[in-house]
Structure 1
Amino acid sequence: MTKQLILCDCLGSQTLDREALSRATGLPCSRVHTALCTREIDSAAEAIAAGEAIVACAQEAPRFEELAVELGTAAPLCVDIRDRAGWGEGGESLAKMSALIAEARLDAPPAKTVDVTSDGLCLILGRADVALPAAERLADTLAVTVLLLDGADDLPLSRRYEVITGDLKRAQGSFGNFTLRLDRLRMLEPGGRGDFVLSPPRNGAETGCDLILDLSGNTPLFPAPHKRDGYLRADPGSASAVAEAVFEAAQMLGTFEKTLYLTLEEHLCAHSRAGQVGCTRCLDICPTGAISPEGEHVTVDAMICAGCGACSSLCPSGAIKYDAPPAAHLVTRVRTLAEAYRAAGGAAPRLLVHDEDHGTGMIALSARFGRGMPADVIPLAVPALAGFGHAEMLAALASGFAGVTILPGPRTERDPIGREIALATAMGGAGRVALLDVDTPDAMSDALYAETAQATDVSPVLLMGDRRQVARLAAKAQMPGQDSPVPLPDGAPYGAVLVDTDTCTLCLSCVSLCPSGALIDNPDLPQLRFQEDACLQCGICATVCPETAITLEPRFDPGDGAMAQKVLNEEEPFCCIECGAAFGVKSTVEKIVEKLAGKHSMFTGTDAARLIQMCDDCRIRAQYHSADNPLGSRDRPRVRTTEDYFGQRRDH
């Protein structure tokens, strides 16, 4: 069945060209309604009942979904072309509407989830005047324990919840599985006449709970507390904030779905090798502490991960990938927007990347009460703004966007975004990638209208492969004719390895520990070779080099030479004095002979010194046939026969 675009000009507040939209999108369009969600709801019902309807209105999506339930049919796809295009100023919005509709029709891969069960075990922290009233309100819904932080001068007589005192020394875990350690724990003794009393204090008590309501006003128990599932925190001095937190806690009983945001391929991780630490980008940037070292790689606690995506954008090897949805789907969305915009007659579009909450609200308010957005600015809502890294920025430029602007929210991690913008700028995006850090919708609109973008002469390219390959292809497209390497900021995941040939002994310890295979040996000759496009700049090679002969140079080589193997250091091999086979490094063998022959107790003899100059096979043969053969043993005893036993009996 052919999909149909159902149009509404929202009480005449936007201009819609039915025929032009049909040509641009390739979809049949309904007549332009004026009040599809109210007076003309029957037309919407008819279209939804027929199936395959695309409603060009996102504001009333819940209303249309309810209508679909009543009709017993699938909910229609609702796409916002009003706030994001129809209510803007300064240009024809047809191309933009066509791009938004094309992008909305893409099927997103389903997110992976895991069930998290909460039995309602709730720990409330705070002073008695705040924590006890909160406990009274939650006691009918949750199993509440109150940890009083101001002593126990006036213990409640209610037994609807537990009351304890003590020092909370450690809190770990997440929603449904918090673990706590307390010192000086005193529990309420419920027996006896008069006021309740507390038990003697004890240290090292451990317990668990499903959620924590922190009304203490002290330092948060966890980093990035707003990102820790099951940890609710409110200012005890704000009655409204406390009431909101109590209400939210009351809902946290039952089974919930936890999205699994990341995938980890441990064998690609460049964290460490042989105890030598290399890359720590994800460990340094994770705001929640969900990532920790585990041997030669890192591990991700999926229950703590809040899905900000910063680690995936910074990971040089692609070991950590954002998977809700995958990065490849994000690149597909970007390419679809650019292709549909150009196909509808648009030129030099700009991409505005924002989060799904704050940014969407800013755009809606700007459209309703202000100037909206320019017709050449196409918004793209992403689930993880910090995960939109240099690869995605460059992919947008290579797909045909004249510029990329990132609109952060109040709680967006700006450090990883800033680093990725600097990297994208150095890799061909100079002057075309920016951070728009504004506080109001009007300020956002003014900034977007104040800038204009010029069409580039770079033809869109087909981007394939993982994020690293996409970044290389996209960056190369932005540097036509550039064959020499360009410098990159410190910490960039691309670059060269420089070797001081005067100090390098070709021990090849760097080769054995290189996690990406960028450093390579030659099995036939004493050579250290290097393939630049594989280098992650993790630094393990420089750390393990016993001669400190290696340094790193962050840079990007857009030429094909980056994919070829280059010789960083080589020497003449030493030839075995017995068989003539090449082995080892001539200068190294000669130095060993010079230092040991005739000077060390084990190499005082002529024959012993010659062993140093032999290959492995000849050395073994020479030692086996030597007078003091270290590989030999005493002669094997003669095998006794039956005749030997009979002869022995006759002799006796």
Structure 2
Amino acid sequence: MGKQLIICDCSGSQQIDTTALSRATGIPCPKLHSALCTGEIEAAAGAIADGEAIICCAQEQSLFEQLAAEIGAPAPVCLDLRDRAGWTADTGDTLPKMSALTAEAGLPVAAAKSIDVISEGVCLILGPAEIALAAAEKLQDVLAVTVLLNETARPPMTRAFEAVRGRLKRASGALGQFDVTIDAFQQLTPGGRQWGWSTPRDGGQSNCDIILDLSGEASLFPAPEKRIGYLRGDPRHAPSVADALLQAAQLVGTFEKPLYVRNQPLLCAHSRADQTGCRKCLDICPTGAISASGDHVSIDPMICAGCGSCATLCPSGALTYDAPPTDSLMRRIQTLATAFLGAGGIAPRLLVVNGHGGEMIRYAARYGTGLPANVIPLELEALNRFGHAEILAALAAGFAWVDILLAPGIEQDVLEREVALANAISGEKSALLDHFDPDALSETLFGAAVPTALADVVRPLGNRRQITRQAAKALTPGTAVLPLPAEAPYGAVLVDTSACTLCLSCVSLCPSGALGDNPDLPQLRFQEDACLQCGLCANICPEDAITYEPRLNLADSALSQVVLHEEEPCACVECGALFGVKSTVDKIVGMLADKHAMFQGSEAARMIRMCDKCRVNAQHHQENAPFRGADRPRVRTTDDYLSKRRDH
């Protein structure tokens, strides 16, 4: 059988027109159920066994997945229609919204890329002796425990686990591969009535799979909650210590670590010739997973927590989110908009949330007024991956407004920057919602004015920069140039022509090819669409002649090269060939003629105005030529040797 919708009205608590929904989605719905998870469980089993069933109930997803495993069928797609559309105080038509959610649920899911992480349960416990030793006693049967005590701690009289003494100097890594360095390192020396410690030594090194930090001191790592394998518990708060012990006990075995970000170093605009340009990913990474590696950056996949901030801010596309890929997210956005509008909906609004926001929506539906009929939720694993390009793609696809619901643990400044950039391009059509109360969220959404959506929708394609340009042209027809906030990844390079000497250092360093030269004439050329505003050209310019103007140029001229600065070329006084810049040669003549030992006299000074070939030739033939060596010796022949023998 093909796809089919298995719909449950949850004991009659929601109204669903299955006939209209089937017609709008093109997916048959055999029957409207009321107790699919209890009295009608056999119907669910039959649909799961047939395959390709979309079960419109997310509350009992684990039950349906367990049922599929029991009958040997693939896990079904579970779609939450009830909390996101069915349970609402809005009396408007919910069919367009249900159609959109159903269409999105039917999209293929991109296979996730991951690597295996092996943890054998080697655990290092830090903290005061009374807390750390008690924790070790609880974990000694499930983990290979070592307790690091401070330099004054007395030796524990047990060999059930390892105990050492010293100061933790350094720690690095993540689950399965932590490396630690310990100064004043001492091992336990059991024997006699009183056990002791070995002679202390600095620089003791070891590794472990898990670090359980019960010290109550500053974290060993940035963003500790995102460092897998590093667990913290407050020694003054027994429940937090118990939670940390429970988590540690479960970190044994082989785990799949997603590869969140794809790195293409050749596109990176971080550095060239020891000059630093873009640092956005380095400055924003909360876990410190990104480091400079020559002219580009590298990412430690074990430390990366997949927040998506680096990929959102990367101006060149060197870093792209890959779990799932960007085009998968764009497809979800466009599918939601297309299905909503196709079912007769008007002016849809997109509400972007993560797992925390999804839970708020469920609470708002069960205990409050739910979501308006025109608000379509889009739940993502990484909220920070939804940047200006995604906002603009949604608006161009037909959404009238985009809201992003903030959540704990995200980099809010990234979203603030991206929303500001999107609004500068689209004209205030997106916002951040800072609500932690489901009722406040519903009240804000129900009280919002309904904006006007784009009449002629478009479906932008390509990378994020290309999508931004296509969407901006659709959203702002007739506009040539849009001013943008500072640090935007789009803009123009401005050159002070009175200071520029056309040395072309900027051209040699430009990572995107936005700056170019003319091999036949002294020109500095610029293609605005390719400019990343990375800062490399301004940093390398010896004359400080380069500044930037953040803007988005939608004119066709931005796609081709224009001349920023040009000067008259210098013609060789000997052969007439063009070389260099005439004004620069004139300056050099003024600085060197009759002022430098090599250019005394008119003939010597004349060589400055020659091309390379003529200058070398003139220097070779001049009197006292600096490059002329001694006369070459005459080639000796056989007759020379024979005549020499006759002479003797």
Match of 1:643 in 2: 639
Q: Equivalents in 1 of 2:51, 2:320: separation in Å?
A: 36
Q: Equivalents in 1 of 2:278, 2:197: separation in Å?
A: 51
Instruction: Pick from 453, 468, 471 the counterpart of residue 471 of structure 1.
Output: 468
- Is residue 199 from structure 1 mapped to residue 198 from structure 2 by the alignment? yes
Structure 1 counterpart SS, 2:603: helix
* C-alpha contact (below 8 Å) 1:213/1:231 kept by paired residues: yes
Structure 1: stretches of 5+ with no match in the other structure: none
Match of 1:619 in 2: 615
Deviation at 1:480, TM superposition (A): 0.9
Instruction: Pick from 395, 399, 402 the counterpart of residue 400 of structure 2.
Output: 402
Match of 1:93 in 2: 94
Deviation at 1:646, TM superposition (A): 3.2
What is the CA RMSD across the aligned residues, in angstroms? 1.4
Query: 1:100-249, aligned counterparts within 5 Å?
Result: 100-149=101-150, 151-153=152-154, 155-191=155-191, 193-249=192-248
Q: Equivalents in 1 of 2:306, 2:97: separation in Å?
A: 30
Match of 1:415 in 2: 413
1:190 maps to a residue whose letter is P
* C-alpha contact (below 8 Å) 2:118/2:176 kept by paired residues: yes
Deviation at 1:631, TM superposition (A): 4.2
Structure 2: stretches of 5+ with no match in the other structure: none
Q: Equivalents in 2 of 1:293, 1:608: separation in Å?
A: 49
* C-alpha contact (below 8 Å) 2:393/2:459 kept by paired residues: no
1:501 maps to a residue whose letter is T
Superposed structure 1 runs of 4+ greater than 4 Å apart:
none
* C-alpha contact (below 8 Å) 2:396/2:454 kept by paired residues: no
Deviates more, 1:26-35 or 1:203-212: 203-212
Match of 1:393 in 2: 391
Instruction: Pick from 432, 437, 452 the counterpart of residue 434 of structure 2.
Output: 437
Q: Equivalents in 2 of 1:569, 1:575: separation in Å?
A: 19
Q: Equivalents in 1 of 2:113, 2:540: separation in Å?
A: 39
After superposition, what is the alpha-carbon deviation per residue over 1:444-483, rounded to whole angstroms, capped at 9, x for unaligned?
Answer: 1111111132223442112111111111111221111112
Deviates more, 1:568-577 or 1:68-77: 68-77
* C-alpha contact (below 8 Å) 1:516/1:536 kept by paired residues: yes
* C-alpha contact (below 8 Å) 1:398/1:458 kept by paired residues: no
Scaled by the length of structure 2, the TM-score of the pair is: 0.98
Match of 1:610 in 2: 606
Match of 1:499 in 2: 495
Match of 1:281 in 2: 280
1:351 maps to a residue whose letter is L
After superposition, what is the alpha-carbon deviation per residue over 1:552-574, rounded to whole angstroms, capped at 9, x for unaligned?
Answer: 11111122222232211111111
1:416 maps to a residue whose letter is V
* C-alpha contact (below 8 Å) 1:458/1:478 kept by paired residues: no
* C-alpha contact (below 8 Å) 2:151/2:166 kept by paired residues: no
2:470 maps to a residue whose letter is L
Q: Equivalents in 2 of 1:138, 1:345: separation in Å?
A: 60
Deviates more, 1:280-289 or 1:196-205: 196-205
Deviation at 1:443, TM superposition (A): 1.3
Query: 1:42-61, aligned counterparts within 5 Å?
Result: 42-61=42-61
Match of 2:269 in 1: 270
Q: Equivalents in 2 of 1:587, 1:518: separation in Å?
A: 25
After superposition, what is the alpha-carbon deviation per residue over 1:263-298, rounded to whole angstroms, capped at 9, x for unaligned?
Answer: 111111111111111111111100001111111111
Match of 1:462 in 2: 459
Structure 2 counterpart SS, 1:375: coil
1:605 maps to a residue whose letter is G
1:106 maps to a residue whose letter is L
Match of 1:370 in 2: 368
Q: Equivalents in 2 of 1:521, 1:605: separation in Å?
A: 35
Q: Equivalents in 2 of 1:494, 1:51: separation in Å?
A: 48
After superposition, what is the alpha-carbon deviation per residue over 1:107-152, rounded to whole angstroms, capped at 9, x for unaligned?
Answer: 1211111111112110001112211111011111111111124831
Q: Equivalents in 1 of 2:64, 2:41: separation in Å?
A: 9
Q: Do the aligned partners of residues 602 and 316 (structure 1) sit closer, same or farther apart at CA in structure 2, a change above 3 Å counting?
A: same
Q: Equivalents in 2 of 1:52, 1:317: separation in Å?
A: 39
Q: Equivalents in 1 of 2:52, 2:489: separation in Å?
A: 46
Deviation at 1:551, TM superposition (A): 0.8
Deviates more, 1:92-101 or 1:157-166: 157-166
Match of 1:25 in 2: 25
2:102 maps to a residue whose letter is I
1:151 maps to a residue whose letter is T
2:169 maps to a residue whose letter is K
Deviation at 1:510, TM superposition (A): 0.8
**Percent identity of the aligned residues?**
60
Match of 1:313 in 2: 312
2:521 maps to a residue whose letter is L
2:542 maps to a residue whose letter is P
Q: Equivalents in 2 of 1:166, 1:291: separation in Å?
A: 30
Q: Equivalents in 2 of 1:335, 1:228: separation in Å?
A: 34
2:210 maps to a residue whose letter is L
Match of 1:64 in 2: 64
Q: Equivalents in 2 of 1:69, 1:284: separation in Å?
A: 45
Deviates more, 1:639-648 or 1:249-258: 639-648
Match of 2:587 in 1: 591
Deviation at 1:101, TM superposition (A): 0.9
After superposition, what is the alpha-carbon deviation per residue over 1:277-328, rounded to whole angstroms, capped at 9, x for unaligned?
Answer: 1111111100001111111111111111100000100000011111101111
Deviation at 1:48, TM superposition (A): 1.9
Match of 2:445 in 1: 448
Q: Equivalents in 2 of 1:643, 1:31: separation in Å?
A: 115
Q: Equivalents in 2 of 1:581, 1:649: separation in Å?
A: 56
Deviation at 1:181, TM superposition (A): 1.4
Q: Equivalents in 2 of 1:13, 1:152: separation in Å?
A: 63
Q: Equivalents in 1 of 2:194, 2:136: separation in Å?
A: 19
Match of 2:578 in 1: 582
Deviation at 1:251, TM superposition (A): 1.1
Q: Equivalents in 1 of 2:61, 2:436: separation in Å?
A: 28
* C-alpha contact (below 8 Å) 2:392/2:422 kept by paired residues: yes
After superposition, what is the alpha-carbon deviation per residue over 1:51-109, rounded to whole angstroms, capped at 9, x for unaligned?
Answer: 22211111112212222222222222211111111112212111111111111111121
Match of 1:518 in 2: 514
Q: Equivalents in 1 of 2:241, 2:471: separation in Å?
A: 49
Structure 1 counterpart SS, 2:402: strand
Q: Do the aligned partners of residues 44 and 457 (structure 1) sit closer, same or farther apart at CA in structure 2, a change above 3 Å counting?
A: closer
Q: Equivalents in 2 of 1:112, 1:298: separation in Å?
A: 21
Q: Equivalents in 2 of 1:427, 1:167: separation in Å?
A: 53
Match of 1:80 in 2: 80
- Is residue 547 from structure 1 mapped to residue 540 from structure 2 by the alignment? no
Q: Equivalents in 1 of 2:606, 2:98: separation in Å?
A: 82
Deviation at 1:338, TM superposition (A): 0.2
Structure 1 counterpart SS, 2:30: strand
Q: Equivalents in 2 of 1:608, 1:117: separation in Å?
A: 74
* C-alpha contact (below 8 Å) 2:186/2:200 kept by paired residues: yes
Q: Equivalents in 1 of 2:169, 2:98: separation in Å?
A: 56
Scaled by the length of structure 1, the TM-score of the pair is: 0.97
Deviation at 1:630, TM superposition (A): 4.1
After superposition, what is the alpha-carbon deviation per residue over 1:472-507, rounded to whole angstroms, capped at 9, x for unaligned?
Answer: 111221111112x22211111111111111111111
Number of residues of Structure 1 aligned to a counterpart in Structure 2: 647
2:159 maps to a residue whose letter is R
After superposition, what is the alpha-carbon deviation per residue over 1:346-375, rounded to whole angstroms, capped at 9, x for unaligned?
Answer: 1110001111x2111111111111111111
Q: Equivalents in 2 of 1:152, 1:189: separation in Å?
A: 14
* C-alpha contact (below 8 Å) 1:128/1:150 kept by paired residues: no
